[in-house]
Structure 1
Amino acid sequence: MRDLSEQEKFWQGDFGNQYVERNIGQPLVAASLAMFAKALSRAGRIDSVVELGTNAGNNLQALHQLLPQSELFGVEINESACVQARALGIAQIWQGSLFDFPRERTYDLSLSKGVLIHLAPELLATAYAQLYALSRRYILIAEYYNPAPVEVPYRGNSGKLFKRDFAGEMLDRYADLHLLDYGFVYHRDPQFPADDITWFLLEKRP
């Protein structure tokens, strides 16, 4: 069994627990539902979804409402978050690092929302490989965008929040990926604010 990185231990521990408590509630689920409705509007039928970095399950709740026929899977490193996500009873939750999640099958959609921004840059290639390998057709990336990589101080911590063109890097890395749609959710949106998230829907094509 491999040793977890410092960053993985950070999210597994007390800081990760505090993050879980800050990021639960129906307004967040509603905002995620509004974003997913737009982000997936050009996608075909989606019968299975895997989310890397599920936290307490806000996104899975939104996806369950939007795609009630879909089989949902979540991957989460923090034990407290896993307990809460499992308690929803809507998805299979695998506890552990997204880097260790087994590639035993593929899913119509693989998803990362607010997760890649918290990974050390040297871990991104492996995260991209997971998103790509687990996807049968679609990949949705919803993160903080910046045209060039930049680090941002995060609640008094350094090396824990980065902005960059995650989707562009995946498009450059995998020749069969194509940009199907993209959009932005402004933190001052009067109905469903979502912390200035930029989303990109990528599709695998022959």
Structure 2
Amino acid sequence: MQHTQQEDFWSGDFGRHYTDRNSRPLAEWNEFYETCYGHTKLDMNAAFLGELDREARILEVGCNTGMQLMGLQHQGFQNLYGIELQHYAVEKARDFVRGVNVLQGSGFDLPFKDGFFDVVVTNGVLIHIAPDDLPRIMGEMVRCSRRYIWGFEYFAPETTAIPYRGNEGFLWKADYAQLFLDQFPELRLVKKQQYPYINAAESGNVDAMYLLEKVGA
């Protein structure tokens, strides 16, 4: 399958620099979220997955070096998988997580059977997918999930392109939970919460976490 412009962008030097810039140990990772939102990522996770069986099978699409998976592992989840486009990030993931299945591959073609996971999640990944390509990656996520779609992404009421470090066409804000619901009638919204930035540098920006469930699952 031919790569998208965004996939080529993230597979190159820009993606490598992003990986180096955003990889940090668990304590620093938690401090980063608390500084940004007034909540640690572990607190956010617990608010959405707190009751989920720790044996649940979870896939993160676009896991980079596995920091989110490391957090889930810290919270007791045992059956964790990640898929990451960038080979460099997959190699570095070994420095951050142990006992997690991190594979190199594309979210547009997930190498798993239908309904293999209890939860399929993205964290700051759909924001980098061109709007016209979103139905493909979302469709793969829905296909591979037996029950839940979970996400944490930049939020805006309407899909809005924004410049990213001097580059155009590589970052969007949107209501991603609603985009899932519009595309896939088998999904229903379980929970959604907005997290405004509290640090002055990002003042006015909002991210959203959401949990969707397959009806009848």
* Structure 2 residue 46 is matched with structure 1 residue 37: yes
Please report how far the alpha carbon of residue 180 of structure 1 lies from its aligned counterpart in structure 2 after TM superposition: 0.8
Q: 1:29/1:97 Cα in 2 relative to 1: closer, same or farther (>3 Å)?
A: farther
Structure 2 residue corresponding to 1:107, chosen from 109, 114, 117: 117
Matched AA of 1:174: F
Where structure 1 has 5 or more consecutive residues not aligned to the other structure, the ranges are 190-194
Q: Which residue of 2 aligns with 1:192?
A: none
State the alpha-carbon separation in 2 of the partners of residues 180 and 101 from structure 1: 24
* Structure 2 residue 88 is matched with structure 1 residue 80: yes
* Structure 2 residue 202 is matched with structure 1 residue 173: no
State the alpha-carbon separation in 2 of the partners of residues 171 and 32 from structure 1: 25
State the alpha-carbon separation in 1 of the partners of residues 213 and 76 from structure 2: 18
* Structure 2 residue 29 is matched with structure 1 residue 21: no
Matched AA of 1:119: I
Look up the SS of the partner of 1:7 in the other structure.
helix
* Structure 2 residue 76 is matched with structure 1 residue 67: yes
Look up the SS of the partner of 2:127 in the other structure.
helix
State the alpha-carbon separation in 2 of the partners of residues 3 and 86 from structure 1: 28
* Structure 2 residue 17 is matched with structure 1 residue 8: no
Q: Is the 8 A contact 1:117 1:163 kept in 2?
A: yes
1:31-50 CA-partner distances (Å, limit 9, x unpaired): 32222111223x54251100
State the alpha-carbon separation in 1 of the partners of residues 125 and 185 from structure 2: 23
State the alpha-carbon separation in 2 of the partners of residues 166 and 185 from structure 1: 14
State the alpha-carbon separation in 2 of the partners of residues 59 and 196 from structure 1: 19
Q: Which residue of 2 aligns with 1:136?
A: 146
* Pairs aligned (count): 198
Where structure 2 has 5 or more consecutive residues not aligned to the other structure, the ranges are 32-39, 200-204
Q: Which residue of 1 aligns with 2:198?
A: 188
Look up the SS of the partner of 1:51 in the other structure.
strand
Look up the SS of the partner of 2:164 in the other structure.
coil
Q: TM-score if structure 2 supplies the norm length?
A: 0.85
List 4+ stretches of structure 1 deviating above 3 A. none
Q: Which residue of 1 aligns with 2:35?
A: none
Q: TM-score if structure 1 supplies the norm length?
A: 0.89
Matched AA of 2:90: C
Identity %: 34
